[in-house]
Amino acid sequence: MSQYLIEGGQKLRGEVTLQGAKNSVLPILAATLLNKGDTLLRRCPRLRDVDASMRILRHLGCTAEWKGEELEIRTGEISRAEITDELMREMRSSAIFLGAMLARCGEAKISYPGGCELGPRPIDLHLAGLRAMGAEIREEGGTLYCRAPRLRGADIVLALPSVGATENLMLAACGAEGVTKISNAAREPEIRDLQEFLVACGARVRGAGTSTVIVEGGEPLHGCTYTVMPDRIVAATYLSAVATAGGEAFLSGAREEHLLAVTAALRAAGCHIRGDERGISIRAEEPLRAVNMIRTAPYPGFPTDAQALVMAVLLRAEGVTVFEENIFENRYRHANEMMRMGAEIRIFGRVAVVTGVSALHGAAVQATDLRGGAALCVAGLAAEGQTQVTDSHHIDRGYEDLTRDLRALGAQIRYCPAD
């Protein structure tokens, strides 16, 4: 089983350049289906989820190839409109292909995307919005049979600001006749990045980043060359690493405006953080202070993806921090593993109470999900002795090269592939 070995106790110092954003490039890869040209993606991260998306695109009849550091997608030919169960299971967010397939092919057959480590991952808001645009969707034996010979623009109000539903409906709306208005849309920066990609392909989309996104569908789209935004959660990971281990670093390419809730929490804990157009610099001395309360919420609230990462920082802070996880049902699985390292955490449903301890000790711990696994590596940087983080394949879904980046900051970490 592959694992990371981390020797804790080193202060960090250095500079790292941020990879492209996983949660931006995945919907962008689906969006390439909307045009019949060639797309070149720059700063596309080399991730397991990107590999899975490339396999789906190839299965549909497209080509997806790395050309040096750029990813070339050619979508002139589509030979099928169904994604196999095996391909759907490889990546939880493969439901994002549904809207684009309906817009391009007028039909789609996909299996219900499974839940994941974070709990059930329903797509009822995606399906309700697609039905409002005229799609006929039938669920039989875990497979969704979808037909949309003519998608038409609709006024859609999302019951909650779902990132995936907003993105799926934006893509379907590009292929619909007329105007689609998505109200209570998610406002994450990745939604704005998707809008900028679509506009670069000739689409008429506006409002991303606000609660109302408007798409004037029916425009013929073309390929483009596009640079993916930097990954703000990877930035949060490295900020947390320096915060907990102590030291100073510069994150080149990071945009503080995408992470204000996270940098506010780290500043409250006692970190010195400065953001400018080039990136984010952070300096952290011992000891950190607990942060009264951290509540996860849709953007621009505190991002659920950074919950485990900032929890790792506060395990040794002086005082008590109360976390409230309001987005996913089961997103504290990393807590038990942190307790094996000496952390004091009490879980009450959606609430986790973290009481700072003076020291953590290295231990053999298991990555439970993508960000929980990264958080265990962060905690290991501040623990005395060696921490082994097994099941590291979870981490590889979202981090292009965690070892390369943390070593650039002076961490003692190495990756041991499965034997």
Q: Footprint of ligand EPZ on this chain (CB under 6 A)?
A: 22-23, 26, 93, 121-126, 160, 162-165, 186, 304-305, 327-328, 370-371, 398
**62/73 Cα distance (integer angstroms):** 7
Query: CB-wise, 237 or 387, nearer to ligand EPZ?
Result: 237
Query: CB-wise, 22 or 316, nearer to ligand EPZ?
Result: 22
Q: How far is the CB of 328 from ligand EPZ (least distance, A)?
A: 5
Query: CB-wise, 201 or 236, nearer to ligand EPZ?
Result: 236
3-state secondary structure 147-209: ECCCCECCEEECCCCCHHHHHHHHHHHHCCECEEEEECCCCCHHHHHHHHHHHHCCCEEECEC
Q: How far is the CB of 162 from ligand EPZ (least distance, A)?
A: 3
Beta strands in 78-140 (DSSP E): 107-111, 136-140
Residue 24: its H or E element: helix 22-31
**30/53 Cα distance (integer angstroms):** 8
Query: CB-wise, 153 or 298, nearer to ligand EPZ?
Result: 298
**13/332 Cα distance (integer angstroms):** 30
**98/144 Cα distance (integer angstroms):** 10
Residue 374: its H or E element: helix 370-381
Query: CB-wise, 248 or 305, nearer to ligand EPZ?
Result: 305
Q: How far is the CB of 289 from ligand EPZ (least distance, A)?
A: 27
User: Is residue 36 within 8 Å of 75, Cβ to Cβ?
Assistant: yes
User: Is residue 80 within 8 Å of 60, Cβ to Cβ?
Assistant: yes
φ/ψ of residue 366, rounded to 5: -120, 125
User: Is 62 a known active-site residue?
Assistant: no
Query: CB-wise, 122 or 202, nearer to ligand EPZ?
Result: 122
Query: CB-wise, 3 or 23, nearer to ligand EPZ?
Result: 23
Cross-strand partners of 45: none
**195/92 Cα distance (integer angstroms):** 22
> Which is the catalytic residue, given 116, 201, 224, 271?
116
The CB-nearest residue to ligand EPZ is 164
Q: How far is the CB of 395 from ligand EPZ (least distance, A)?
A: 11
Q: How far is the CB of 26 from ligand EPZ (least distance, A)?
A: 5
**Token pair in block for residue 342:** 């000496």
**Token pair in block for residue 389:** 């983080």
Q: How far is the CB of 125 from ligand EPZ (least distance, A)?
A: 3
Q: How far is the CB of 280 from ligand EPZ (least distance, A)?
A: 19
φ/ψ of residue 211, rounded to 5: -80, -5
Active site residues per annotation: 116
